[in-house]
């Protein structure tokens, strides 16, 4: 059974989707230190709080 990501968390794929970029670009932003620090790391990779990513994206002009 595949479970969906809880709505308050985001992984690389979800961040890429809201920014309209590739997952590779999200990895680049992370390696450049542009993204906020992840909330936690799981076996699937880092996860962020949706509120943190949306705030960062608005403050940096990446979303309206």
**pLDDT tens, residue by residue, 15-64:** 999 999 999 999 999 999 999 999 999 998 999 999 999 999 999 999 98
Indicate the number of domains in the chain: 1
- The answer to whether residue 1 is domain-embedded is no
Does residue 64 sit within a domain?
no
**Residue 46 within a domain:** yes
Distance CA 26, CA 7 (A): 19
Instruction: With respect to residue 13, please indicate whether it lies within any of the assigned structural domains.
Output: yes
- pLDDT for the residue 32: 97
Higher-scoring residue by pLDDT: 19, 1: 19
Could you give the strand order of the β-sheet that contains 45-49, starting from the edge strand earlier in sequence? 9-10, 45-49, 40-42
Stronger pLDDT, 4 or 64, i.e. the higher one: 64
Q: Which domain holds residue 26?
A: 9-59
Residue 40 lies in a domain: yes
């Amino acid at each position: 059974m595949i479970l969906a990501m809880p709505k308050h968390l985001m992984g690389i794929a979800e961040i890429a989707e809201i920014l309209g970029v590739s997952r590779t670009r999200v990895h680049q932003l992370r390696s450049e230190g542009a993204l906020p620090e992840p909330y936690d790391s799981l076996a699937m990779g880092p996860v962020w709080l949706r509120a943190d990513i949306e705030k960062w994206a608005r403050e940096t002009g990446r979303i309206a």
